Structure 1
Amino acid sequence: MNVSQTMETEEEFLTCLYIKLYHPLQSCKGLYGLLPLGTKIKHSGDDPLRLGRDAQACTFALVDVRVSRKQLALHAYRTPQSPDMLFTIQNLSQKGRLAVNSSALGYLERMDLPDKALIRFGEYEMLIIRESGEAKGSFEVEFEVLTVPPSRETCTSVPSMTPVMETGSRVINSFPGELKSWPTWPS
């Protein structure tokens, strides 16, 4: 038997987190200069993936003084009931606010990350999409910069507007769920 047949190998298809970033001033600055844009990077499942301003304390860094030194962490985990690698997101910023879809997270709070999540902190919007894979010990991450805010792209329904003949004004009948449930921040 040859050696390649007896060696244990990592499964071919790793779970992948596609992280799509947007900032309104991204064209003016090199905010993403330290990120490996457009390249899949393999990451160990037992090591939290940290994003923040400090390139030494974080796995990936943003070049922006308004981002916390350690902004957020993604933790991989598995359950006995599922072969999928799942993730939690944790707010590592003591001063910065972090919102996941319609839920606000305080300092050190964490929650399960859905397969598709809109993350907001500061002026950043980040769309994270999880693509399942077979590997048990590692996953991949791929960064992309978006030209429009992902919150615009993820609003699947447009408010329906009905004209009112007498006054010529319009009445909004419904809002997308995201707009209704976006948290208000305490002052």
Structure 2
Amino acid sequence: MNVSQTMKTEEDLTCLHIKLHHPQQNCKGLYRLLPLGNKSEHAAEDPLRLGRDAQACTFALDDGRVSRKQLAIQAYRVPKSPDMLFSIQNLSQRGQLSVNGSSLGYLEKLDLPDKALIRFDKYEMLIICELGEAKESFAVEFEVLAVPPSRETCPCVPSMTPVMDTGSCVMNSFPGELRVLGPLENDETIMCRS
């Protein structure tokens, strides 16, 4: 067998696309330690750790407000399934971590869906899993977003679809007696009248 037949190609690897946003990312070098725009291969049996400590973590954020070890992402498989799945764990003793609106306390773990909005401190991370065939490793690709991913997606309330040109909001799954008052912004509370 020659070398080209035994080597994996990038297309064979499951890839975690991690898209980051922080309100002060333009004036600080928060992401200078991350391999932005480059895919890096990671062994499936090792947890992928993110935090401020570059020695203890796989990837580091240059931010004193982030915990030394903030979170861990672990790959796993279930019997009779070729897919690589992932779980996320909060490693921070001092801060909450939320996954699609569900809070995780210290050492609590949750399965990651194919698309997840992660929040900690003032960071928002959109993680999108693109399935591949390789079983012993996966790829990670970091990208910085100009706007928070929560403005583009509403994973916690899937029935809410913002209409960009008017600012109104269509809410299909709420009872008919609930009505939205005025334009709705992403950071405003939904006001209803019964």
3-state SS in 1 of match to 2:57: coil
Residues 65, 175 of structure 1: CA spacing in aligned structure 2 closer, same or farther, 3 A cutoff? Answer: closer
Q: What root-mean-square deviation, in Å, do the aligned CA atoms of Structure 1 and Structure 2 show? A: 2.5
Corresponding position of 1:51: 50
Task: Determine the C-alpha separation between the residues in 1 that align with 2:148 and 2:4.
Answer: 48
Corresponding position of 2:136: 137
Residues 175, 65 of structure 1: CA spacing in aligned structure 2 closer, same or farther, 3 A cutoff? Answer: closer
Task: Determine the C-alpha separation between the residues in 1 that align with 2:23 and 2:43.
Answer: 32
Give 1:150-169 correspondences, 5 Å limit. Answer: 150-155=149-154, 157-158=161-162, 159-160=169-170
3-state SS in 1 of match to 2:77: strand
Unaligned runs of 5+ in 2: 155-159, 163-168, 172-179
Letter in 1 for 2:63: D
Residues 92, 134 of structure 1: CA spacing in aligned structure 2 closer, same or farther, 3 A cutoff? Answer: same
Unaligned runs of 5+ in 1: 162-169, 181-187
Task: Determine the C-alpha separation between the residues in 2 that align with 1:102 and 1:141.
Answer: 23
Q: CA deviation at 1:10?
A: 4.0
Identity percentage of aligned residues: 67
Matched, 1:27 2:37: no
Letter in 1 for 2:2: S
Partner residue of 2:2 out of 4, 13, 22: 4
Task: Determine the C-alpha separation between the residues in 2 that align with 1:127 and 1:91.
Answer: 16
3-state SS in 2 of match to 1:82: coil
After the TM superposition, which parts of structure 1 deviate over 3 Å for at least 4 consecutive aligned residues? 5-12, 172-176
Corresponding position of 1:88: 87
Q: CA deviation at 1:20?
A: 0.1
Letter in 2 for 1:157: T
Residues 151, 80 of structure 1: CA spacing in aligned structure 2 closer, same or farther, 3 A cutoff? Answer: same
Q: If the length of structure 1 is used for normalisation, what is the TM-score?
A: 0.82
Give 1:55-70 correspondences, 5 Å limit. Answer: 55-70=54-69
